[in-house]
Protein backbone atom coordinates (compact mmCIF):
# COMPACT_ATOMS: atom_id res chain seq x y z
CA UNK A 1 0.00 0.00 0.00
CA UNK A 2 0.98 3.65 -0.38
CA UNK A 3 0.21 5.37 2.88
CA UNK A 4 0.42 9.05 3.83
CA UNK A 5 1.08 9.71 7.52
CA UNK A 6 0.61 13.02 9.29
CA UNK A 7 1.56 13.64 12.92
CA UNK A 8 3.24 16.13 15.22
CA UNK A 9 6.85 15.45 14.28
CA UNK A 10 8.53 16.77 17.40
CA UNK A 11 8.67 15.13 20.83
CA UNK A 12 5.45 13.55 22.04
CA UNK A 13 3.86 10.15 22.21
CA UNK A 14 1.59 10.47 19.19
CA UNK A 15 4.49 11.53 16.94
CA UNK A 16 6.57 8.62 18.23
CA UNK A 17 3.78 6.11 17.53
CA UNK A 18 3.16 7.56 14.04
CA UNK A 19 6.86 7.48 13.18
CA UNK A 20 7.45 3.97 14.50
CA UNK A 21 4.34 2.82 12.64
CA UNK A 22 5.71 4.30 9.40
CA UNK A 23 9.07 2.59 9.96
CA UNK A 24 7.41 -0.77 10.63
CA UNK A 25 5.07 -0.45 7.63
CA UNK A 26 7.98 0.42 5.34
CA UNK A 27 9.89 -2.60 6.67
CA UNK A 28 6.90 -4.71 5.60
CA UNK A 29 7.14 -3.39 2.04
CA UNK A 30 4.62 -0.54 2.10
CA UNK A 31 5.49 2.88 0.73
CA UNK A 32 5.15 5.49 3.47
CA UNK A 33 4.92 9.26 2.95
CA UNK A 34 5.23 11.51 6.00
CA UNK A 35 3.49 14.83 5.42
CA UNK A 36 4.44 17.16 8.29
CA UNK A 37 6.06 20.54 8.99
CA UNK A 38 9.34 18.90 10.01
CA UNK A 39 10.97 15.52 9.57
CA UNK A 40 9.81 13.34 12.51
CA UNK A 41 12.65 13.24 15.02
CA UNK A 42 13.04 9.46 15.02
CA UNK A 43 13.67 9.38 11.25
CA UNK A 44 17.10 9.75 9.69
CA UNK A 45 15.78 10.52 6.21
CA UNK A 46 17.60 7.49 4.78
CA UNK A 47 15.06 4.77 5.55
CA UNK A 48 14.11 2.54 2.63
CA UNK A 49 10.51 3.04 1.51
CA UNK A 50 9.97 6.24 3.52
CA UNK A 51 9.49 9.67 1.98
CA UNK A 52 9.22 12.98 3.76
CA UNK A 53 7.18 15.92 2.44
CA UNK A 54 7.57 19.17 4.31
CA UNK A 55 4.54 21.38 4.78
CA UNK A 56 5.70 24.94 4.27
CA UNK A 57 3.47 27.60 5.78
CA UNK A 58 3.70 30.92 4.00
CA UNK A 59 3.32 33.88 6.29
CA UNK A 60 2.01 37.28 5.34
CA UNK A 61 1.66 40.43 7.46
CA UNK A 62 -2.12 39.98 7.31
CA UNK A 63 -1.89 36.56 8.95
CA UNK A 64 -1.61 36.89 12.68
CA UNK A 65 -1.99 33.08 12.69
CA UNK A 66 -0.51 31.44 9.57
CA UNK A 67 -3.05 28.82 8.39
CA UNK A 68 -1.07 25.59 8.88
CA UNK A 69 -4.21 23.43 8.58
CA UNK A 70 -4.81 24.73 5.05
CA UNK A 71 -1.20 24.38 3.97
CA UNK A 72 -1.29 20.82 5.31
CA UNK A 73 -4.54 19.99 3.47
CA UNK A 74 -3.13 21.35 0.26
CA UNK A 75 0.13 19.36 0.62
CA UNK A 76 -1.79 16.19 1.52
CA UNK A 77 -3.82 16.48 -1.68
CA UNK A 78 -0.73 17.23 -3.80
CA UNK A 79 1.30 14.31 -2.41
CA UNK A 80 -1.64 11.92 -2.62
CA UNK A 81 -2.26 12.77 -6.28
CA UNK A 82 1.41 12.80 -7.32
CA UNK A 83 2.31 9.49 -5.64
CA UNK A 84 -1.09 7.81 -5.99
CA UNK A 85 -1.56 7.30 -2.24
CA UNK A 86 -4.14 4.71 -1.20
CA UNK A 87 -5.01 6.43 2.04
CA UNK A 88 -4.02 8.99 4.64
CA UNK A 89 -3.48 8.07 8.27
CA UNK A 90 -3.47 11.05 10.61
CA UNK A 91 -2.33 10.91 14.24
CA UNK A 92 -3.90 13.28 16.76
CA UNK A 93 -7.29 14.57 15.65
CA UNK A 94 -6.59 18.30 15.93
CA UNK A 95 -6.24 19.72 13.27
CA UNK A 96 -5.07 16.75 11.22
CA UNK A 97 -8.44 15.07 10.66
CA UNK A 98 -9.96 18.30 9.34
CA UNK A 99 -7.00 18.90 7.01
CA UNK A 100 -7.36 15.33 5.74
CA UNK A 101 -11.09 15.88 5.21
CA UNK A 102 -10.32 18.94 3.06
CA UNK A 103 -7.69 17.00 1.09
CA UNK A 104 -10.21 14.19 0.50
CA UNK A 105 -12.76 16.71 -0.79
CA UNK A 106 -10.20 18.42 -3.03
CA UNK A 107 -9.38 15.11 -4.69
CA UNK A 108 -13.02 13.99 -4.81
CA UNK A 109 -13.65 17.01 -7.04
CA UNK A 110 -11.09 15.51 -9.44
CA UNK A 111 -12.57 12.03 -9.24
CA UNK A 112 -9.75 10.68 -7.06
CA UNK A 113 -10.54 8.68 -3.96
CA UNK A 114 -8.50 9.36 -0.81
CA UNK A 115 -9.94 7.83 2.36
CA UNK A 116 -8.44 8.88 5.68
CA UNK A 117 -8.04 7.27 9.08
CA UNK A 118 -7.76 9.22 12.30
CA UNK A 119 -5.94 7.76 15.30
CA UNK A 120 -6.92 9.32 18.61
CA UNK A 121 -4.06 9.60 21.08
CA UNK A 122 -5.29 11.26 24.24
CA UNK A 123 -5.10 14.98 24.83
CA UNK A 124 -6.80 15.53 21.45
CA UNK A 125 -9.86 14.08 23.21
CA UNK A 126 -9.34 14.57 26.94
CA UNK A 127 -7.83 18.06 27.04
CA UNK A 128 -7.49 20.15 23.87
CA UNK A 129 -10.55 18.55 22.27
CA UNK A 130 -12.67 19.51 25.27
CA UNK A 131 -12.03 23.20 24.70
CA UNK A 132 -15.36 24.67 23.50
CA UNK A 133 -13.49 26.34 20.64
CA UNK A 134 -12.24 22.99 19.32
CA UNK A 135 -14.86 20.44 20.38
CA UNK A 136 -17.39 20.80 17.50
CA UNK A 137 -14.75 20.76 14.74
CA UNK A 138 -12.88 17.86 16.39
CA UNK A 139 -16.11 15.85 16.62
CA UNK A 140 -16.83 16.66 12.96
CA UNK A 141 -13.35 15.53 11.87
CA UNK A 142 -13.77 12.26 13.76
CA UNK A 143 -17.26 11.63 12.40
CA UNK A 144 -16.15 12.33 8.82
CA UNK A 145 -13.09 10.04 9.00
CA UNK A 146 -13.30 6.85 6.92
CA UNK A 147 -11.84 4.99 9.87
CA UNK A 148 -11.05 5.87 13.49
CA UNK A 149 -8.72 4.04 15.83
CA UNK A 150 -8.00 4.62 19.49
CA UNK A 151 -4.80 3.67 21.32
CA UNK A 152 -6.68 2.24 24.32
CA UNK A 153 -10.14 0.98 25.23
CA UNK A 154 -10.33 3.73 27.82
CA UNK A 155 -9.81 6.45 25.19
CA UNK A 156 -12.48 4.91 22.95
CA UNK A 157 -14.98 5.00 25.84
CA UNK A 158 -13.93 8.55 26.72
CA UNK A 159 -14.41 9.68 23.11
CA UNK A 160 -17.88 8.11 22.95
CA UNK A 161 -18.83 9.61 26.33
CA UNK A 162 -17.46 13.14 26.03
CA UNK A 163 -18.05 13.70 22.30
CA UNK A 164 -21.29 11.72 22.07
CA UNK A 165 -19.78 9.79 19.16
CA UNK A 166 -21.61 6.64 18.13
CA UNK A 167 -19.62 5.59 15.06
CA UNK A 168 -17.35 2.56 15.20
CA UNK A 169 -13.94 3.15 16.79
CA UNK A 170 -11.35 0.38 16.49
CA UNK A 171 -9.04 -0.12 19.46
CA UNK A 172 -5.47 -0.70 18.29
CA UNK A 173 -3.20 -0.28 21.26
CA UNK A 174 0.26 1.26 21.12
CA UNK A 175 3.19 -0.98 20.39
CA UNK A 176 6.93 -1.31 20.89
CA UNK A 177 9.62 -2.97 18.85
CA UNK A 178 10.94 -5.50 21.39
CA UNK A 179 14.15 -5.98 19.38
CA UNK A 180 15.02 -2.28 19.60
CA UNK A 181 13.68 -1.76 23.14
CA UNK A 182 15.43 -4.59 24.83
CA UNK A 183 17.29 -5.30 28.08
CA UNK A 184 20.75 -5.00 26.58
CA UNK A 185 23.20 -6.26 29.24
CA UNK A 186 26.29 -5.10 27.33
CA UNK A 187 24.88 -1.59 27.00
CA UNK A 188 23.93 -1.62 30.66
CA UNK A 189 27.46 -2.62 31.73
CA UNK A 190 29.03 0.00 29.48
CA UNK A 191 26.78 2.99 30.19
CA UNK A 192 25.51 2.49 33.74
CA UNK A 193 28.72 3.61 35.50
CA UNK A 194 28.29 7.03 33.84
CA UNK A 195 25.14 7.57 35.87
CA UNK A 196 25.36 5.54 39.08
CA UNK A 197 27.66 3.53 41.29
CA UNK A 198 27.21 -0.25 41.43
CA UNK A 199 25.46 -0.08 44.79
CA UNK A 200 22.98 2.57 43.61
CA UNK A 201 19.60 2.04 41.95
CA UNK A 202 18.46 4.08 38.96
CA UNK A 203 14.93 5.46 38.72
CA UNK A 204 13.80 6.87 35.37
CA UNK A 205 11.16 9.32 34.26
CA UNK A 206 10.57 10.00 30.56
CA UNK A 207 8.07 12.59 29.36
CA UNK A 208 7.47 15.96 27.73
CA UNK A 209 7.39 17.61 31.18
CA UNK A 210 3.91 19.02 30.67
CA UNK A 211 1.66 19.65 33.67
CA UNK A 212 -0.32 16.45 33.03
CA UNK A 213 2.87 14.42 33.72
CA UNK A 214 3.17 15.73 37.32
CA UNK A 215 6.96 15.94 37.18
CA UNK A 216 6.85 17.51 40.66
CA UNK A 217 5.52 14.19 41.98
CA UNK A 218 8.45 12.40 40.35
CA UNK A 219 10.91 14.49 42.36
CA UNK A 220 8.76 14.32 45.53
CA UNK A 221 8.70 10.51 45.24
CA UNK A 222 12.40 10.29 44.49
CA UNK A 223 13.29 12.54 47.46
CA UNK A 224 11.59 9.99 49.74
CA UNK A 225 13.16 6.99 47.99
CA UNK A 226 16.65 8.54 48.14
CA UNK A 227 16.42 8.76 51.95
CA UNK A 228 15.97 4.98 52.17
CA UNK A 229 17.81 3.57 49.14
CA UNK A 230 21.12 4.72 47.57
CA UNK A 231 19.77 5.86 44.22
CA UNK A 232 19.84 8.25 41.29
CA UNK A 233 17.07 9.70 39.17
CA UNK A 234 17.35 10.06 35.40
CA UNK A 235 14.97 12.66 33.99
CA UNK A 236 14.66 12.25 30.23
CA UNK A 237 12.82 14.90 28.27
CA UNK A 238 12.11 18.57 28.59
CA UNK A 239 9.16 20.90 28.74
CA UNK A 240 7.35 23.57 30.70
CA UNK A 241 7.60 21.91 34.13
CA UNK A 242 11.32 21.20 34.08
CA UNK A 243 11.95 24.24 36.29
CA UNK A 244 9.48 22.84 38.86
CA UNK A 245 11.61 19.70 39.00
CA UNK A 246 14.81 21.75 39.36
CA UNK A 247 13.26 23.90 42.06
CA UNK A 248 12.13 20.86 44.08
CA UNK A 249 15.50 19.15 43.62
CA UNK A 250 17.21 22.18 45.15
CA UNK A 251 14.63 22.40 47.94
CA UNK A 252 15.28 18.76 48.92
CA UNK A 253 19.04 19.11 48.38
CA UNK A 254 19.06 16.16 45.95
CA UNK A 255 20.13 18.03 42.82
CA UNK A 256 23.41 16.10 42.59
CA UNK A 257 21.48 12.81 42.65
CA UNK A 258 19.39 13.77 39.59
CA UNK A 259 20.56 13.61 35.98
CA UNK A 260 18.61 16.14 33.91
CA UNK A 261 19.26 14.61 30.49
CA UNK A 262 16.92 16.79 28.42
CA UNK A 263 15.49 15.58 25.11
CA UNK A 264 17.13 12.41 23.89
CA UNK A 265 16.74 10.78 20.50
CA UNK A 266 17.81 7.25 21.43
CA UNK A 267 15.89 6.50 24.60
CA UNK A 268 16.34 2.79 23.90
CA UNK A 269 19.98 3.24 24.99
CA UNK A 270 19.02 4.83 28.32
CA UNK A 271 15.92 2.91 29.41
CA UNK A 272 17.75 -0.43 29.95
CA UNK A 273 19.93 1.33 32.57
CA UNK A 274 16.94 1.78 34.87
CA UNK A 275 15.72 -0.34 37.77
CA UNK A 276 12.34 1.36 38.06
CA UNK A 277 10.26 3.82 36.06
CA UNK A 278 8.09 6.58 37.56
CA UNK A 279 4.99 7.72 35.66
CA UNK A 280 2.77 9.60 38.14
CA UNK A 281 0.64 11.32 35.45
CA UNK A 282 -2.65 13.06 36.11
CA UNK A 283 -3.97 11.40 32.94
CA UNK A 284 -2.47 9.00 30.44
CA UNK A 285 -4.57 7.51 27.66
CA UNK A 286 -1.99 4.81 27.26
CA UNK A 287 1.48 5.63 28.64
CA UNK A 288 3.89 4.78 25.83
CA UNK A 289 6.92 5.71 27.95
CA UNK A 290 5.98 3.00 30.45
CA UNK A 291 5.68 0.44 27.65
CA UNK A 292 9.09 1.36 26.24
CA UNK A 293 10.57 0.97 29.74
CA UNK A 294 8.78 -2.34 30.30
CA UNK A 295 10.17 -3.74 27.04
CA UNK A 296 13.62 -2.93 28.47
CA UNK A 297 12.78 -4.91 31.66
CA UNK A 298 11.97 -1.85 33.75
CA UNK A 299 8.83 -2.17 35.89
CA UNK A 300 6.74 0.93 36.43
CA UNK A 301 5.28 2.84 39.37
CA UNK A 302 2.30 4.58 37.79
CA UNK A 303 -1.04 6.17 38.53
CA UNK A 304 -4.32 4.32 38.09
CA UNK A 305 -5.60 6.62 35.34
CA UNK A 306 -6.94 6.39 31.79
CA UNK A 307 -5.56 3.47 29.80
CA UNK A 308 -2.60 2.78 32.13
CA UNK A 309 -4.24 -0.30 33.75
CA UNK A 310 -4.52 -1.82 30.25
CA UNK A 311 -0.71 -1.98 30.36
CA UNK A 312 0.49 -1.91 33.96
CA UNK A 313 -0.96 -4.73 36.01
CA UNK A 314 -0.84 -3.79 39.68
CA UNK A 315 1.50 -6.09 41.62
CA UNK A 316 2.53 -8.04 38.51
CA UNK A 317 4.63 -5.84 36.23
CA UNK A 318 4.46 -2.65 38.30
CA UNK A 319 2.40 -0.89 40.93
CA UNK A 320 -0.56 1.48 40.56
CA UNK A 321 -1.45 4.35 42.88
CA UNK A 322 -3.85 7.26 43.22
CA UNK A 323 -2.77 10.51 41.54
CA UNK A 324 -0.65 12.62 43.89
CA UNK A 325 -0.07 9.94 46.52
CA UNK A 326 3.71 10.42 46.61
CA UNK A 327 4.03 8.75 50.03
CA UNK A 328 2.49 5.52 48.72
CA UNK A 329 4.45 5.69 45.45
CA UNK A 330 7.71 6.13 47.39
CA UNK A 331 6.83 3.23 49.73
CA UNK A 332 6.06 1.06 46.68
CA UNK A 333 9.31 2.05 44.99
CA UNK A 334 11.32 1.28 48.14
CA UNK A 335 9.58 -2.10 48.43
CA UNK A 336 10.62 -3.04 44.88
CA UNK A 337 14.14 -1.61 45.07
CA UNK A 338 15.02 -3.33 48.35
CA UNK A 339 13.72 -6.77 47.36
CA UNK A 340 15.88 -8.26 44.60
CA UNK A 341 13.50 -11.15 43.97
CA UNK A 342 10.48 -8.86 43.65
CA UNK A 343 12.42 -6.46 41.40
CA UNK A 344 13.53 -9.32 39.14
CA UNK A 345 10.08 -10.92 38.99
CA UNK A 346 8.40 -7.63 38.09
CA UNK A 347 11.12 -6.76 35.56
CA UNK A 348 10.61 -10.11 33.82
CA UNK A 349 6.82 -9.72 33.90
CA UNK A 350 7.18 -6.22 32.41
CA UNK A 351 9.22 -7.53 29.49
CA UNK A 352 6.79 -10.43 29.01
CA UNK A 353 3.80 -8.05 28.89
CA UNK A 354 5.53 -5.96 26.22
CA UNK A 355 6.40 -9.06 24.19
CA UNK A 356 3.12 -10.91 24.54
CA UNK A 357 0.66 -8.05 24.15
CA UNK A 358 2.27 -4.99 22.59
CA UNK A 359 5.01 -6.16 20.26
CA UNK A 360 5.09 -4.73 16.72
CA UNK A 361 4.62 -8.22 15.28
CA UNK A 362 1.23 -8.36 17.00
CA UNK A 363 0.01 -4.79 16.53
CA UNK A 364 1.21 -3.70 13.06
CA UNK A 365 -0.84 -6.41 11.26
CA UNK A 366 -3.90 -4.97 13.04
CA UNK A 367 -3.26 -1.64 11.29
CA UNK A 368 -2.71 -3.41 7.97
CA UNK A 369 -6.00 -5.28 8.32
CA UNK A 370 -7.78 -2.07 9.29
CA UNK A 371 -6.38 -0.24 6.24
CA UNK A 372 -7.65 -3.05 4.01
CA UNK A 373 -11.05 -2.92 5.68
CA UNK A 374 -11.32 0.86 5.13
CA UNK A 375 -10.17 0.57 1.51
CA UNK A 376 -12.70 -2.19 0.85
CA UNK A 377 -15.57 -0.23 2.40
CA UNK A 378 -16.61 1.91 -0.57
O1 LIG B 1 1.02 13.48 26.70
C2 LIG B 1 1.86 13.21 25.86
O3 LIG B 1 2.87 12.55 26.10
C4 LIG B 1 1.66 13.67 24.47
C5 LIG B 1 0.54 12.94 23.83
C6 LIG B 1 0.72 13.03 22.34
O7 LIG B 1 -0.27 12.89 21.68
O8 LIG B 1 1.81 13.22 21.81
O9 LIG B 1 0.51 11.60 24.32
C10 LIG B 1 -0.68 10.85 24.20
O11 LIG B 1 -0.40 9.88 23.20
C12 LIG B 1 0.56 8.88 23.57
C13 LIG B 1 0.81 7.97 22.39
O14 LIG B 1 -0.35 7.35 21.95
C15 LIG B 1 0.04 8.11 24.80
O16 LIG B 1 0.97 7.12 25.16
C17 LIG B 1 -0.14 9.10 25.96
O18 LIG B 1 -0.70 8.41 27.05
C19 LIG B 1 -1.08 10.23 25.54
N20 LIG B 1 -1.04 11.26 26.58
C21 LIG B 1 -2.08 11.51 27.38
O22 LIG B 1 -3.15 10.92 27.32
C23 LIG B 1 -1.87 12.57 28.41
Q: Which CATH number fits domain 2-174+360-377: 3.40.50.10140, 3.30.70.1230, 3.40.50.2000, 2.40.50.250?
A: 3.40.50.2000
2-174+360-377 and 185-358: identical CATH topology? yes
147 lines ligand 1 (CB under 6 A): no
14 lines ligand 1 (CB under 6 A): yes
pTM listed for this prediction: 0.94
209 lines ligand 1 (CB under 6 A): no
Atom of ligand 1 nearest to the CA of 152: 14
| Averaged pLDDT, 59-76 | 95
Atom of ligand 1 nearest to the CA of 306: 22
| Structure confidence by residue, pLDDT tens digits, 163-188 | 999 999 999 999 999 999 999 889 89
Q: How far is the CA of 70 from the centre of ligand 1 (A)?
A: 25
Q: How far is the CA of 284 from the centre of ligand 1 (A)?
A: 6
| Averaged pLDDT, 76-92 | 98
Atom of ligand 1 nearest to the CA of 285: 22
* pLDDT for the residue 158: 95
Give the H or E element holding residue 116: strand 116-120
* Average pLDDT for the chain: 96
What is the ipTM for the molecules in this complex? 0.94
Long-range (24+ apart) CB contacts under 8 A made by 18-21 are: 18/89, 18/91, 18/119, 19/43, 20/175, 20/177, 20/360, 21/89, 21/175, 21/364, 21/367
Residue 164 carries which DSSP code?
-
pLDDT at 324 over 80: yes
Q: How far is the CA of 288 from the centre of ligand 1 (A)?
A: 7
Please enumerate in sequence order all residues whose Cβ is within 8 A of that of 54, keeping only pairs 6 or more positions apart, or say none.
36, 37, 38, 39
40 lines ligand 1 (CB under 6 A): no
pLDDT at 11 over 80: no
* pLDDT for the residue 284: 96
* pLDDT for the residue 126: 84
Domain boundaries, the chain: 2-174+360-377, 185-358
What is the CATH code of the structural domain delimited by 185-358? 3.40.50.2000
Q: How far is the CA of 213 from the centre of ligand 1 (A)?
A: 10
Atom of ligand 1 nearest to the CA of 288: 16
Question: Cβ-count burial of 108 within 10 angstroms (0-12 exposed, 13-18 middle, 19+ buried)?
Answer: exposed
Residue nearest to ligand 1 atom 5, measured at CA: 13
CA distance 361 to 344: 25
9 lines ligand 1 (CB under 6 A): no
12 lines ligand 1 (CB under 6 A): yes
Amino acid sequence: MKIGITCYPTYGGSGVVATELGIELAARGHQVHFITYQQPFRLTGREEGIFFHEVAVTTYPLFQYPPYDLALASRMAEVAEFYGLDLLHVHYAIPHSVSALLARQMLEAKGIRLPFITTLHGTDITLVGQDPGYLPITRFGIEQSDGVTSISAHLKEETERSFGITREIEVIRNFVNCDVYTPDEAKRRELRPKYARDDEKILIHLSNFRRVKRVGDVVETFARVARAVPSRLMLIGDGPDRSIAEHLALQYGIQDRIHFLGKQDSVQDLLPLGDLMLMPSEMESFGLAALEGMACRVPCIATRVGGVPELVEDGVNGLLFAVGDVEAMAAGAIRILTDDTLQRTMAEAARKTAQDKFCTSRIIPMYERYYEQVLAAK
